[in-house]
Amino acid sequence: MRAWTAFDRALGALVVTSNNIGSLLIFAMTIGVVADVTGRYLFNSPINGTHEMVTIGVVAILYLQLSYTLRSGRMTRSDAILTRLATASPAISRLLNFTFNVAGACLAAAIVYGAWPKLLGAWREGFYVGVIGVFTFPEWPLYLIILIGCTLTGLQFLALTAADLLRRPGVPERAAGGAG
């Protein structure tokens, strides 16, 4: 049980750090867009690459904050049936939660599997976004963020699965400890 607690705490620290980096990126993007709009309308001089950086930034923010959204219980899903099942049949509710968490971990693993060759290709070939001579940005950091974000999300799904398996029947989720 100590190993589980240590793993969950370490994962939690990584998830929170990833979320904080995403929040800083939101702040930086906001400043960049305001500076671009100000330069465009007051000085007729926009900042080159703002569009590309915002496009990349939105994707990066999504993957940086996805695992925290899951860990904090704010992942979008329909709970109407699960809430009723938890009261009527806790065993079926636990089975469905287990199934959803395993499916989520598998989906995250599939994204990691698909993004890995893209990361390597972007790194080796020097792929970039933007226009040469105006603004360019390498693609590999975005693929790295996708990989890290999906790895953390997959691990968080597995942690939720483990927490469900370790939880004693009849003990509320928060009282049982573990991820969440």
Confidence class for position 168, pLDDT limits 50, 70, 90: low
Contact predicate 130/136, CB 8 Å: yes
Picking from 54, 16, 15, 48, the residue whose alpha carbon sits closest to that of residue 33 is 54
Query: In the chain, how many domains are there?
Result: 1
Tell me the residue range of the domain where 99 lies. Answer: 2-176
Whose tokens are 């049980």? That residue is 1
Confidence class for position 70, pLDDT limits 50, 70, 90: very high
The model carries a pTM of 0.87
Confidence class for position 178, pLDDT limits 50, 70, 90: very low
Q: What is the pLDDT of residues 108-151, one digit of tens each?
A: 999 999 999 999 999 999 999 999 999 999 999 999 999 999 99
- Taken in order 119, 123, 125, 129, the sign of the CA dihedral is positive
Confidence class for position 169, pLDDT limits 50, 70, 90: low
